[in-house]
Amino acid sequence: MRFSSFFEYPDLEEQESSNDFSFLGDCSEDEWDKIVDLTQRREFSAGDTIVAEGEADRALYIVASGTLEVRVRQSKGLRTRVTTISKGSIFGEQAFLDGQPRSAQVRAVTDGELLILTLDAFKSLVGWEPKLATQILFDLGRILSIRLRHTTALISKWGG
């Protein structure tokens, strides 16, 4: 299965409803081929837990197909869905960048497939394709910033 066209994004749901969350939408097919060559593929089924909260893992996850939900634990121990993530977006960027444990659970809503970019694979990319690696870092920063703005707006609503 070829993934070079997977960055043609459908509309995303809920908070991630704009192309603001699309990852590397301006990359060429050749650039995507270089990234895909460094990733591991993982299929998932609806209901699978992809990432557990508190897990130590520095991989970045690129959603090639399917829909996932991000869930956080509330004070009473119940999990609440924060957002959904669909084809063309990413998750795991915080732990990828800072090395801290995962801050949320990610579960599959539908069947799909992920491309997993490990930190070691990314370091290889830095050596071979520094311009592409820089694009990845800037896009991760852009997506993190947008997600932080959404979180700030949500907290502002809670505060009245």
Pair 51, 102: CB distance under 8 Å: yes
Using DSSP, state whether 147 is helix, strand or coil. Answer: helix
- DSSP E strand stretches across the chain: 40-44, 49-51, 60-65, 67-73, 79-86, 90-91, 105-108, 112-117
Q: What global pTM score does this model have? A: 0.83
Domains and CATH numbers, the chain: 14-159 (2.60.120.10)
pLDDT by residue (tens digit) across 70-125?
999 887 878 888 889 999 999 999 999 999 999 999 999 999 999 999 999 999 99
- Check pLDDT > 90 for residue 139: yes
